[in-house]
Structure formats: C-alpha cells, structure tokens
Amino acid sequence: MDLMYHSTRNNSIKVTASQAILQGLSPDGGLFVPESIPRLTTPIADLAKMNYLELAYEVLKLYLTDYTEEEIKECISKAYDDKFDTPDIAPLNKVGELYYLELFHGATIAFKDMALSILPHLLTTAARKNKISDEIVILTATSGDTGKAALAGFADVEGTKIIVFYPKDGVSSVQEKQMVTQKGDNTYVIGIRGNFDDAQTGVKKIFGDRDLEERMSKAGYRFSSANSINIGRLLPQIVYYIYSYVELYRRNEILAGEKIKFVVPTGNFGNILAAYYAKQMGLPVEKLICASNDNKVLYDFFQTGIYDRNREFILTISPSMDILVSSNLERLIYHIAGEDPDKTLELMNALTSTGRYEISFDMRKKLDCFIGGYATVDETMSAIHRVYTDSGYVLDTHTAVAASVYSKYLNNKKDRSTSVIVSTASPYKFAESVLGAIGVKNLPEDDYEQAILLREISGIEIPSAMEEIHLADIRHNTVCETGRMRAKVEEILKII
C-alpha cells in the first residue's frame, strides 16, 4: 500500500508521493502532507554503518513509496555527488561544547542545496512515472538562497524551465550575483520591486490562476514549485537530522536513545519542520529551538499562540530569514490541529483576510517540543564576534542568529544536553557582514576581495561557488513591479 499525501486544507484530495511532488501545491491552495508520518525502525547500530547516501535511501524509501528502489537510489546518487566539496555531504563540526551541522557544502554554499540538488531528479522521475509529457515550469520565489540553488539544480535539465523571482533590494550582493550570472537556456531570473513576502504571494497567486493554467496546458506547460511548499523539498531535509544523530552516536558523544536538541535558524519554517518530522519518526529529540531574526513572527507565535504578520518588514543581515509569512507553518498547524483540514483552512483564511490567527489551547499544548527565540542584528553580530574570538570558527549571519538564540537560552537554563546548531550558509556568502562583525575595518567593496580577506581570517579555502561568480557575465537583468509577475511569466512562455 502506498503512503498517500493529502492537502492540509482538504483530506479528500489524495495523491501519491510522485504526484504531490509534481504538483508542488495542492489545487485548493493547501500543502501536501503524508497521511501518516512513518516510523524509522532500523536500529541505530545499523544506521551507524551507513554513509549519507545510504541513510538518505533508508529515510526516503519510507515516504516515496510509489518510486522504485532503483529510482530513489538513482536520484540520491545524482544529487549527492562531487557537487559537494566533502564526501560527508553534511559534516558535523565540534567547536567547543557545541556541534555545528554544516549544510553549506553544496554547489551554492547554503543549505537549500541539500534538497534542491535532489528535487529536479525526484521531479523528472515523477513526470516519467505519471506519463506527463508537458514541459515543467518551475516557478520560485526566493529570499536569496533558494533561487540560486534551484537554478543550479534545474539548469539545462531536459523538459524543464525555471523562473525565479527575488526581491531586488532584499538579497546580499553575492546572492544576487549568483543568480543573475546563472547559465542555462532554460533559466529566467527576475528582480521584483517588493520584498520576499510579495514575491511568495505573487507566485502563489500565479499557481492558483486557473485561467492561466488552462492556457499553459494548451501550450504544453505545467507549473511546479521548488519552494519548500513542495513536499519534495521537505523530505530530503529530514535525512540530515537523522544523519547528525547517527554521527554523534558513531563518535560516542551520545548513547543510543539519548535526547538531543537542534537549534534552527528559521524563515519559511521548512528546515525546522523537517526536524519535527524526524522527531515524529522516532528520532530522540528533546527540543527544537526555532531561531528568528528581527522579523520575529514565529517567536511571538510560540510565546502567545497568535500568529500576526501585521508588522513592519525588517531588512536584516540574515536576509534568507527576512520573512513574515512562514509557509510551512501551515503543515505544523495541520498536525497540531489533529490532522484537521477544516480547522487549518479556517486559520489560513484568517491569515489571508486579517493577517492574523490564534490557535486553541489544545493546539498550543502540542507545541511543547518547540522553543522560540530571536536575535537582533546587534546580537547576531556579537555572536559572530564571540565565536570567532573564542575558537577561530567563523559563522555566517544566519547560523549566528541560531548561535545567539542558543546562548540566550543557556543563560536562562542550566540544561547542558547535547545540542546541534544547524548551520545554513557558508560565511563566504555574507562576507561583508561577517567581516564587519569580526571587526575588520576599511572593508574592500568588491565581493572577491572580501572573500580573500575572509580566507586570511578563517583559514578556510574560498569555495568554488565564489570563484565561479567572480568573473562571470551578467545574463539576467529584468526587474518588474509585483503586479506584473504574471505578465512576465506569460511573456517568457509566450502564451497569451
């Protein structure tokens, strides 16, 4: 029997894993969720014999039940190859008493590579399985890192086109350069005059446009999503939580069954939701610490049970977390509502119409494995400075939000159980802010010169992703108003 997926807003919409991945978003606007979360029953002593790829198979086979063993294994081996600069794929680095799970060793030096290097393969396999001959158009809104990772994953993948919208003034200079220099005849990159939420809302609107869908279909196209609303993004992210646990066990840092904590720098709630799924599968997790920056909607939510996006959008030095509407929270809401699609729909409708909703007391009780925290820009910079001064280890601005939140948490508690800080980007991606936080004066303006300086300070080689953009030509320079996003898509696909 296949594990089926249904919409968070309607239990009668039921599809297989490959269909859920193909569609991206459910037609009713809901997100696909597995009808039950499978248990990981393989003993840890057996998991401990596996490398990252083998472990990925062990996890993904539980979810992708309509894929064959061969198909899953092929997707995995095409994804986690020498695009990563270490065979560990997700190295766990001990610095002082803390562990940093480094998820930035892929092609675009941020954690989005963990899922986006496999998603194109899962998706093209899904199309083949479901006998879809339409060209798949990946439509993506990005706060900076998803865009590049998706572009890199889908560039020149046969049968696909990829269109990325990013906030023109809301990404770092390296992030922008990475996107606008993207090669591949099937890639399109567009800056919008708005923030990430505008981009995400615009993309969701295009997905929900039935008239456009019909015209697309006539022209031989169908949309899918590379955003973390696609369940195919979420599932591969579960793997590294289990991997890091197994790695701690392998190093004799924990006993089998011992509970650990994860601290996750959070924006759209995708990464930490994968940790929650890992926990629901049986991974011994004590707490999930959800770290936000100044856009602390999630912190307030965990404090009060009220989600309220009616506030100023703040641009910070951790742009990939500058988000007020965390899409993946809808999946958590669905689970804590007892898998109740009507309740979920009611809350999501409230969010759309009033920008706010409040969950019930019973739902709040089910959130007790989560702790919300946040760090201001100043606190984030201090964390980079402190960790560098203490250990020589250089954090990027997102990981530093998590590090800061964790140290504030420790101040309040005497809890010393094993903790893993989920490290989401290479410091090279945000070199200017990182060097500034460390206290380097007279920073050069040029990204590459900053990278050279960072190499001297950190002793870590400049990643090839930085070398690539250094001399690359700009290939994309379109900018549009948020109201023109659909028109841009129609223009690119030449549909009227």
Q: Which residues are catalytic?
A: 112
Show the site string, 354-383: x = touches ligand PLP by CB under 6 A, - = not.
------------------------------
Closest distance to ligand PLP from the beta carbon of 237 (Å) = 8
Residue 145 is a binding residue for ligand PLP (CB under 6 A): yes
For residue 418, give the DSSP letter.
-
Closest distance to ligand PLP from the beta carbon of 285 (Å) = 17
Question: For residues 219 and 495, is the Cβ–Cβ distance under 8 A?
Answer: yes
Specify the stretch interacting with ligand PLP by CB under 6 A; choose among 26-34, 194-202, 255-263, 268-276: 268-276
Residue 406 is a binding residue for ligand PLP (CB under 6 A): no
Residue 293 is a binding residue for ligand PLP (CB under 6 A): no
Give the whole-angstrom CA distance, residue 227 versus residue 311: 24
Q: Which of 320, 407, 433, 458 binds ligand PLP (CB under 6 A)?
A: 320
Residue 423 is a binding residue for ligand PLP (CB under 6 A): no
**Among 154, 120, 31, 168, residue whose Cα is nearest residue 485:** 168
Three-state DSSP at 242 gives helix
Nearer to ligand PLP, 142 or 344 (CB): 142
**42 CB-contact burial (10 Å; exposed 0-12 / middle 13-18 / buried 19+):** middle
Q: Which of 63, 223, 241, 269 binds ligand PLP (CB under 6 A)?
A: 269
Q: Which of 44, 56, 321, 377 binds ligand PLP (CB under 6 A)?
A: 321
Sign, Cα dihedral of 222, 226, 227, 231: positive
Closest distance to ligand PLP from the beta carbon of 88 (Å) = 19
With a CB cutoff of 8 Å and minimum separation 6, the contacts of 90 are: 52, 101, 102, 103, 105, 114, 240, 243, 244
Q: Which of 261, 331, 398, 488 binds ligand PLP (CB under 6 A)?
A: 398
Specify the stretch interacting with ligand PLP by CB under 6 A; choose among 34-42, 130-138, 264-272, 458-466: 264-272
Residue showing tokens 């140290």? 407
Closest distance to ligand PLP from the beta carbon of 129 (Å) = 27
Compute the half-sphere exposure of residue 171: CA atoms within 13 Å on the CB side of its CA: 29
Residue 172 is a binding residue for ligand PLP (CB under 6 A): no
Residue 110 is a binding residue for ligand PLP (CB under 6 A): yes
Q: Which of 268, 293, 316, 419 binds ligand PLP (CB under 6 A)?
A: 268
Nearer to ligand PLP, 122 or 229 (CB): 229
Sign, Cα dihedral of 52, 237, 432, 385: negative
Residue 271 is a binding residue for ligand PLP (CB under 6 A): yes
Nearer to ligand PLP, 124 or 426 (CB): 426
Residue 174 is a binding residue for ligand PLP (CB under 6 A): no
Residue 228 is a binding residue for ligand PLP (CB under 6 A): yes
Residue 425 is a binding residue for ligand PLP (CB under 6 A): yes
Query: Buried b vs exposed e over 289-310: b needs ≥16 C-beta within 10 Å?
Result: bbbbbbbbbbbbbbeeeebbbe
With a CB cutoff of 8 Å and minimum separation 6, the contacts of 338 are: none
Closest distance to ligand PLP from the beta carbon of 110 (Å) = 4
Nearer to ligand PLP, 34 or 265 (CB): 265
Closest distance to ligand PLP from the beta carbon of 317 (Å) = 11
Question: For residues 171 and 203, is the Cβ–Cβ distance under 8 A?
Answer: no
Nearer to ligand PLP, 278 or 480 (CB): 278
Interior angle at CA 114, CA 112 and CA 115, nearest 5:
75
Query: Buried b vs exposed e over 448-466: b needs ≥16 C-beta within 10 Å?
Result: bebbebbeebbeeebbebb
Residue 90 is a binding residue for ligand PLP (CB under 6 A): no
Give the whole-angstrom CA distance, residue 19 versus residue 14: 9
Specify the stretch interacting with ligand PLP by CB under 6 A; choose among 55-63, 104-112, 349-357, 464-472: 104-112
Residue 142 is a binding residue for ligand PLP (CB under 6 A): no
- Within 337-494, strands assigned E span 356-358, 370-374, 419-423, 478-481
Give the whole-angstrom CA distance, residue 490 versus residue 496: 7
Specify the stretch interacting with ligand PLP by CB under 6 A; choose among 2-10, 17-25, 54-62, 259-267: 259-267
Residues in the chain: 496
Residue 424 is a binding residue for ligand PLP (CB under 6 A): yes
Three-state DSSP at 457 gives helix
Size of the site for ligand PLP (CB under 6 A): 17
Closest distance to ligand PLP from the beta carbon of 91 (Å) = 16
Question: For residues 156 and 454, is the Cβ–Cβ distance under 8 A?
Answer: no
Residue 267 is a binding residue for ligand PLP (CB under 6 A): yes
Residue 9 is a binding residue for ligand PLP (CB under 6 A): no
Which whole-number Å values give the CA distances from 112 to 33, 56, 104, 395, in the listed order?
20, 16, 8, 17
Closest distance to ligand PLP from the beta carbon of 424 (Å) = 3
Interface ranges with ligand PLP (CB under 6 A): 110-112, 145, 228, 265-271, 320-321, 398, 424-425
